[in-house]
A = this chain, B = another copy of it.
């Protein structure tokens, strides 16, 4: 199986973006109606610039989008990003199930043919 570098880098960005409680909170806050950056910044005990950076990280990971609204910038959650991340984790669980299943099969075979104690 060839490693898909692009996809890997994308996943790095998505998980990294989620690895910060402020950013997770931002995603929650901008889900639905959306908010401008200042509106977001008011909720956190940090500078406007810091919030701006967090939004930039989320944007690079395609978890939110920014849209100009006059002098404001409307930040909104991007559902596709969330879904992609979730699917990846489901994939890992699928691998787990598959391998765990294979082992169960092997054990079952062994039992059926009395190989567990030669």
Contact = CB atoms under 8 A, between A and B. Distances in A.
Majority DSSP secondary structure for residues of A touching B:
helix
Interface residues of A, number: 33
B93 A82 contact: yes
A77 B28 CA distance: 30
A77 B33 CA distance: 39
Copies in the complex: 2
A65 interface: no
A26 to B, nearest CB: 12
Contact of A86 (B3, B18, B89, B95): B89
A56 interface: no
A75 B20 CA distance: 27
A33 to B, nearest CB: 7
A57 to B, nearest CB: 11
Contact of A11 (B8, B24, B27, B86): B24
Given A12-B20, A31-B92, A31-B99, 7 more contacts: A8-B21, A12-B21, A15-B15, A31-B95, A32-B99, A83-B93, A86-B86
